[in-house]
């Protein structure tokens, strides 16, 4: 479903099948990186599932799909500019498809928004941000697997460094008035997300 959706998306803008295959191969290679355990194709599949459920509420589905596929394409646990680098690559690929600048600008903004996950004036962006954090509100077993995979991605850091950093992240989300910006995701996931975050924090 993930590849098929990508191929259908790009087929709207180019008939060059080799180019489409090349772009997909790049996505597949990056998300299948050896040091990735959470930011993988499975993460993208989850986002696609979550966003498909609210597709009728999305103003520009194509832009959201480009954001979905490229928002974590660059990911290095040692770097703090992953969102910027991912947005940069997304822009380059969309320019390569000769997409309108308005589309490129909105996609770039959506990807950059995943750095801070703050409320946006753009409703599509809010749905995208909520889907990106939807793992926080899943049943505990799924959440636990996610938290363990995040730890594996940061394996280079010893507990002495990782645990204080992780605590800070958890406390940040717990202290938010609401994690989810849209009413749909708030009603579906907020209560469970807060419980999961509290449970992980207590275990550190």
Residues 197/170, Cβ–Cβ less than 8 Å? yes
Q: pLDDT value at position 108?
A: 98
The domains of the chain are located at 1-132, 138-204
At 10, phi and psi to the nearest 5?
-70, -30
Q: Give this prediction's pTM.
A: 0.95
pLDDT of residue 171: 97
For residues 19 and 28, give the distance between their C-alpha atoms in angstroms, rounded to a whole number. Answer: 14
- Smallest Cα–Cα separation from 99: which of 13, 185, 35, 197? 13
Q: Which two tokens stand for residue 111?
A: 């990807």
The rounded distance, in Å, linking the Cα atoms of 50 and 151 is 24
At 96, list the tokens: 């390569």
pLDDT given at position 95: 97
pLDDT, tens digit only, all 204 positions of the chain: 999 999 999 999 999 999 999 999 999 999 999 999 999 999 999 999 999 999 999 999 999 999 999 999 999 988 999 999 999 999 999 999 999 999 999 999 999 999 989 999 999 999 999 999 999 999 999 999 999 999 999 999 999 999 999 999 999 999 999 999 999 999 999 999 999 999 999 999
Q: Phi and psi of 28, rounded to 5°? A: -60, -45
pLDDT at 2: 97
pLDDT attached to residue 32: 97
Model pLDDT, residue 103? 97
Q: Where are the alpha helices (DSSP H) in the chain?
A: 2-11, 17-31, 41-52, 61-70, 82-96, 101-113, 123-132, 140-153, 159-175, 183-203
Q: What angle do CA 20, 58, 69 make, to 5 degrees?
A: 30
CB 83 within 8 A of CB 114: yes
Identify the pLDDT of residue 150. Answer: 96
Can you read off the two tokens belonging to residue 174? 């717990």
């Amino acid at each position: 479903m993930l590849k098929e959706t990508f191929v259908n998306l790009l087929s709207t803008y180019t008939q060059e099948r080799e180019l489409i295959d090349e772009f997909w191969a790049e996505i597949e290679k990056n998300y299948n990186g050896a040091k990735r355990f959470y930011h993988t194709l499975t993460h993208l599949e989850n986002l696609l599932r979550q966003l498909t459920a609210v597709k009728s509420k999305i103003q520009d589905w194509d832009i959201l799909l480009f954001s979905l596929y490229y928002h974590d394409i660059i990911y290095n646990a040692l770097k703090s500019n992953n969102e910027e680098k991912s947005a940069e690559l997304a822009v380059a690929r969309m320019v390569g498809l000769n997409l309108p600048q308005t589309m490129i600008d909105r996609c770039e903004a959506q990807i950059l928004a995943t750095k801070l996950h703050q409320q946006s004036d753009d409703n599509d962006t809010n749905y995208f941000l909520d889907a990106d954090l939807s793992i926080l509100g899943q049943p505990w077993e799924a959440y636990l697997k996610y938290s363990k995979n995040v730890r594996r991605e940061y394996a280079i850091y010893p507990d002495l460094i990782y645990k204080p950093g992780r605590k800070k992240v958890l406390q940040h989300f717990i202290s938010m008035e609401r994690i989810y910006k849209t009413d749909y995701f708030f009603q579906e996931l907020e209560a469970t997300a807060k419980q999961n975050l509290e449970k992980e924090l207590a275990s550190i």
